[in-house]
Amino acid sequence: MRIEKDQMLSYFEWLIFNFGLLQGAIVAVALSLLGFVVCYLVSMARYGPSEAFFHVTRVIYELLARDLPGTSIRRVYALARLAFQEAIRRRVLVIMAVFIAVLLFAGWFLDPAADNIAQLYISFVMTGTSYLILLLGLFLSCFSIPADMKSKTIQTITTKPVRSTEIVLGRIFGFTAVGTVLLVSMGVLSYVFVIRGIEHRHESGDIASDGMSGETSYDASHAHSFEMSGDEGTTDEQKGHRHLVTRTGDGQYVIGSPEGLLNARIPVYGRLAFTDRGGNPGIGLNVGYEDEYQKYIEGTSLMSAIWTFSNVQPSRFGGGDTLPIEMSLQAFRTLKGDIVTGVQGAIILKHTNGRVESERIPFIVKEFSVDQKEIPRKLSGSRDGEPVELDIFDDIVDEDGKLEIHVRCTDPGQYLGMSAADLYLRAGDSTFGWNMFKGFLGIWMQMFLIICLGVMFSTFLSGPVAMVATMTCLVLGFFGSLAFDVATGDTPGGGPIESLIRIPTQQGAMVDLDLGNPVLEKTIKIVDNGIMYTLFSVFKAIPSFGQFNTSDYVAYGFDIFSGLVARHLTMTIAYFILTSVIAYFFLKTREIAAA
C-alpha cells in the first residue's frame, strides 16, 4: 500500500491550499466556461449565433429563478421512489444472490494458509463488492431515462408540474437508494465473512513439565507456542496474530480467538525532509528508479531523513508510557554485505532546537513488512553534548508539540529508502468495524459518482452510448494519475503542435524550438498551452475513481482518517452538483416527444 503525499493532508490544508478550493475553483470556472461554450455551440447549430446566446443564458436563468426554487421534496421523493421500484422490478436483487454465491465459493480460491489472511479476505470482499455495485450503478443509471423516453412514460411525467431538476435528482437519489440498500447488505455479509474467515481455534498440545509453557495444536496451517504467567498467558505471533491462553481450575489450557489480525491503526504522519552528505538541508538520493516516490540516504554519511511531527502529546499515545513508532523502509544494497542480518539503521529523537537529542536507537530494516518499535518514555540522551536522562514528552518534544525523528543508515555502502508515509507514530487504534464502514463509504461514493455520470449522459444519449461514455470516464478516472501526467504539461519537447513540428524537422526535445520566426514560435507555444490546459481541465474534471477506493487502508489495517473521508465527500458533492447541472441543461432543452 502506498500513501501519496497529498493524502496525508488534513481536510483544511487540502481545502485551502492544495487541490481543493483553489484548483477546484479554477476547474469549476474552466468547466463552466467549457459547458457554456458547448451548450452555446449546440444551440448555435440549431438557432444561429445571437439566439443561441440568449437561449443558453435563458436556461441558466430558468434554473436559478424558477426550477430550483420550484423544486419540491415530495416530487423528488416520488420520482426517486419510482426509480427504486423500477430497479427492484428489474430484479437487481439478483446481484445479492450473485454476491452470496461468490462468498460461498470463495473457499475454493482463497488460501486459508496464507500469511496475511485478514488482508486477503478483506481485499477479496471489498473488491467483489465494489465491482458488483459499480456495475449495478452503471446499468441502472444509463438505461433508465432512455427507456422512459422510448416507452414515452416520460411524457406523462413532464406534463405534470415536474421540473427537470426533479427528474434528474429523483433518478440519482432513487438509484443511489437501491445501491445503498445492496451495499449495506453486502457490507454486513462481508464483515461476517471476514470475521468468520479468520476465526480459528487451537487445542493445547504439548505442555512443559512445569506447566508454564507449551505448544498449541496445529490448526489452520500453523501452531503456536505459549508462555504462561500465572493462570494467563499469550502465544507467540504467527501469521500476524496471537491467542490468549487461560488455565482453568481443573488444569485445562483454553486458547482463545486470534487477536491482532483486524487492525485500524491510527497513524500520525510527519513532514519528511533530508540532509545531504554534508549534513546540510538537501534532498534525498534517487537510486535510479523511475519512480520518484521514495528517496534514499547513504550509509555512514551525514545524510539523514528527518520527520517532523506536530501535536505530539502523551494523551494521543495511550498515556504516553511509550512512543510507538512504526516504519517500513526500503533497503538498497550496493554490496552483498551481511545478508543474514540485513541493512542497519538508527533512530534519533531530536528537539527542534537541535540541542536535545536521544541516544541512537538501532534497528535492522525489515523490508516489506511493518516494523513496530515502542520507544520508552524515559531514555538516555544528551543536552548540549552532555549526557542526561530524558523524558520524551517533557524534554524532547518542544513547546509547540513538535518532535523530530531522524533516521540514518549505519551500514557502510548501503542505502535506506523512504517516503513521508513510511514512518509514523501510532496513535492507538480505531475499531475495525468502523474502519470497514469507512471503506464501504468509499465504494458508496464511487457508486454515487457513477450514477451521477450515468444519469447525466443518459439525458442526451441513448442507453448503450451513455454506458460507453460513463465507462470511458470510469477508465480514465481509474488511471487518473496517468492521464494527469499527460495533462500537466511538463513535457520536454512542448505540446502537441510543437511536437508535431519537431518530428519531421528532427529537432531534439532538449533544445528550444527554432523556426526562425519568433512570432510563430510564440503563437505555437500559446496555442499549445491552451490545448494542454484544456486537456488538464478535462482530466481534472473526471473524478479519479481510484482515489475514492480506500479498501487498501482497511486491508492493510490503517485507519482511514476522517480528513480523507471528508475530502472525498466534498469532491463527491462537487461532482454531484456539476453533473446535475449539466443533466438539467440537456433535459430542459430536449424535445421530450420528438425522440
Partner 1 sequence: MSASAAVETESQPSIDVDSDVVIETRNLGKIYRDFWGRKKVAALKSLDIEVKKGEIFGLLGPNGSGKSTTIKLIQGLLFPTSGRAFVFGKDARDVTKNERIGYLPEESYLYKFLNAEETLDFYARLFDMPAGERKERSDRLIRMVGLHQARRRQLREYSKGMTRRIGLAQALVNEPDLLILDEPTTGMDPIGSREMKDLIIKLRDEGKTILLCSHQLADVQDVCDRVAILHQGELRELGRVDSLLKVRDVTEVHATGISDETKEKIAELIRNDGGQVVSMDNPTTTMEELFLDIVQDNRPGSRPTAN
- What residue type is assigned to position 160 of the chain? K
* Smallest distance, partner 1 to C-beta of residue 484, A: 35
* Smallest distance, partner 1 to C-beta of residue 58, A: 5
Question: DSSP characters for 275-289?
Answer: E-TTSSEE--B--S-
* Smallest distance, partner 1 to C-beta of residue 51, A: 5
- Binding of residue 376 to partner 1 (CB under 8 A): no
Give the binding range for partner 1 (CB under 8 A) out of 50-58, 119-127, 288-296, 553-561.
50-58
Torsion of CA 309, 314, 316, 321, to 10 degrees: 110
* Smallest distance, partner 1 to C-beta of residue 149, A: 11
Determine how β-strand 403-409 pairs with β-strand 322-327. Answer: unpaired
Pick from 77, 35, 29, 25: nearest CA to 59: 35
Residue nearer to partner 1 on the CB measure, 250 or 591: 591
Query: Exposed, middle or buried by CB within 10 Å (0-12, 13-18, 19+), for 298?
Result: buried
- Binding of residue 344 to partner 1 (CB under 8 A): no
Please check whether residue 219 is in contact with residue 202, taking contact to mean a CB–CB distance below 8 angstroms.
yes
- What residue type is assigned to position 162 of the chain? V
Q: Which of 96, 106, 157, 531 binds partner 1 (CB under 8 A)?
A: 157
Give the binding range for partner 1 (CB under 8 A) out of 52-60, 276-284, 343-351, 404-412.
52-60
| Angle, CA 460 vertex, CA 455 and CA 466 arms, to 5° | 55
Element (H, E) at 304: strand 304-309
Determine how β-strand 322-327 pairs with β-strand 330-333. Answer: unpaired
CA distance readout (Å), 223 to 204, 212, 229, 230, 243 = 10, 17, 20, 22, 11
Residues between 6 and 45 that touch partner 1 (CB under 8 A): 43, 45
Binding mask 535-574 for partner 1 (x = CB under 8 A): ----------------------------------------
Residues between 80 and 99 that touch partner 1 (CB under 8 A): 81-82, 85-86, 89
Determine how β-strand 414-418 pairs with β-strand 330-333. Answer: antiparallel
Report the distance separating Cα 113 and Cα 223, nearest Å.
12
Quote the cell numbers at residue 466. 451513455
- Binding of residue 71 to partner 1 (CB under 8 A): no
Q: How many residues does the chain have?
A: 595
Q: Could you tell me how many residues of this chain bind partner 1 (CB under 8 A)? A: 43
CA distance readout (Å), 112 to 194, 198, 243, 284 = 12, 8, 18, 41
- Binding of residue 592 to partner 1 (CB under 8 A): yes
- Binding of residue 591 to partner 1 (CB under 8 A): yes
Q: Which of 161, 251, 354, 385 binds partner 1 (CB under 8 A)?
A: 161
- Binding of residue 160 to partner 1 (CB under 8 A): yes
Residue nearer to partner 1 on the CB measure, 31 or 60: 60
Q: Which of 52, 132, 255, 262 binds partner 1 (CB under 8 A)?
A: 52
- Binding of residue 159 to partner 1 (CB under 8 A): yes
Spacing of C-alpha 192 from chain mean position: 24
Binding mask 127-156 for partner 1 (x = CB under 8 A): ------------------------xxxxxx
Q: Which of 9, 14, 39, 75 binds partner 1 (CB under 8 A)?
A: 75
Residues between 214 and 253 that touch partner 1 (CB under 8 A): none
Dmax of the chain from CA atoms? 98
Q: Which of 35, 70, 314, 342 binds partner 1 (CB under 8 A)?
A: 70
Quote the cell numbers at residue 594. 420528438
Chain residues that interact with partner 1, rule: CB under 8 A:
43, 45-48, 51-52, 54-55, 58-59, 62, 66-67, 70, 72, 74-75, 77-79, 81-82, 85-86, 89, 151-163, 591-594
